[in-house]
Amino acid sequence: MSAHGRNGRARAGIVCALATLVALGGCRGDSQDVRGAAVGDRTLPQQQTKVVLAADTTGLPNEGALAHVAIGDLAGIGNNTLDAKVANPYANDMAAIKAGHELFVNMNCAACHGYDLKGGMGPDLTDTYWRYGGSPADIYKSIFEGRPEGMPAWGRSIPPEYIWKIVAYIQAKGGAYPAALADRGRQGDLGDDDTTSGSTLKGRNNVH
């Protein structure tokens, strides 16, 4: 129905919001999807650190060691490419957060997780409940690798620096815990002051 006088402006369903992504294959014609872009040598961010186990005198791994294996890897998804305690190089960078917000909308993250990040088809990203870990590096890995219940693997089409900017946006919305608290977050021991949202932590004060 042309009742609205839209004089035939056909956008063909494609909105290439970021020219950089066009070049990188993140935004394509409608006969293709986002998969299949070459990942090449940018699979690992340079911040990757090596997991080093503490000296073992008991024959058992020390308490922190198991936590170095990301939860997603225990579930059998992806490779252990990133230490959960790596900090986001773009955390608190206002320009990066703004870019992350734009990516969050334009790559359709908002359609699943909500324009307010409160969830919908996909999980709420503003609380402290993270199935695959909620440290910045955990979130990076979930975006990069995808997750079994429908989360696409964006590492195939979004370069690492842009993924880190999306993570910075999520951090800015309160839905993450600091890298240094990765172990505590996984074990359910976050306290009121440990995240910016604090929404699900009322009355908890887990002083270690």
Partner 1 sequence: MMRPAALHAPSRALVLASIVLLAACGTRDYQGRTASAATVATASGAVDGELAAPAVAARGAAWLPPNAGDGDWLMPSRDYGGTRYSPLTEITTANAGQLQLAWTFDDGESHYGHEMTPLVANNTMYIVSPFPNRAFAIDLTKPGGQLKWTFEPNPSPIAIGKACCDAVNRGAALYEGKLIYNLLDDHTVAVDAATGKELWRTKLANVEDGTTMTMAPMVVDGKVYVGNSGGEMGVAGWLAALDANTGKVLWHAYSVGPDTLVRIDSQFKPFYSWMRGKDLGVRTWPANSWKHGAGAVWGWVTYDPDLKQIFYGTSNTGPWNADQRPGLNLWTSGVFARNASDGMARWAYVFTPHNEWDYDGVNENVLVDLPMGGQTRKVMVQFNRNGFAYTIDRLTGEVLVAKPFGHENWATGIDPKTAMPIVVPEKHTVPAGRWVRDICPADIGVKDFEPVAFSPKTALFYVPVQNVCMDYKGREVGFIAGTPYWGAQMTRHTGPGGHPGSFIAFDAATGTKRWEIPEDFLVYSGALATAGDVVFYGTVEGWFRAVDARTGKILWSRKLGSGIISAPMAYRGPDGHEYVAVAAGVGGGAMTQASQKGFPARGSTYYVFALGQNIPAASSPSAPGGTGAEPKKEGGKP
Contacts to partner 1 by CB under 8 A: 1-4, 6-17, 27, 30, 32-35, 105-109, 111-112, 115, 121-122, 147-152
Which C-beta is closer to partner 1: that of 119 or that of 191? Answer: 119
Minimum distance between the CB of residue 99 and partner 1, rounded to whole angstroms?
17
* CB-based contacts of 173-178 (< 8 A; 24+ apart in sequence): 173/117, 173/125, 173/126, 173/197, 174/126, 174/198, 174/199, 175/117, 175/124, 175/125, 175/126, 175/127, 175/128, 175/134, 176/134, 176/135, 176/136, 176/139, 177/128, 177/134, 177/135, 178/135, 178/136
| Nearest approach, Cβ of residue 66 and partner 1 (Å) | 25
Measured CA to CA, the distance from residue 117 to residue 99 in angstroms comes to: 16
Q: How far is the CB of 110 from partner 1 (least distance, A)?
A: 8
Shortest distance (Å) from residue 3 CB to partner 1: 7
Task: Determine the Cα angle at 167 with ends 43 and 183, to 5°.
Answer: 90
Interaxial angle between packed helices 136-145 and 160-172, expressed in degrees from 0 to 180 and rounded to the nearest 10: 130
Instruction: For residue 151, give the DSSP letter.
Output: B
Q: How far is the CB of 35 from partner 1 (least distance, A)?
A: 8
Q: Which is nearer to partner 1, 95 or 115 (CB)?
A: 115
Query: At closest approach, how far in Å is the CB of 20 from partner 1?
Result: 15
Q: Compare residues 3 and 207 and give the one whose CB is closer to partner 1.
A: 3
Q: Between residues 130 and 177, which has the closer beta carbon with respect to partner 1? A: 130
Nearer to partner 1, 100 or 152 (CB): 152
Residue closer to partner 1 (CB basis): 35 or 42: 35
Cα separation, 150 vs 88, whole angstroms: 25
Name the nearest CA neighbour of 164 among 86, 106, 108.
Answer: 86
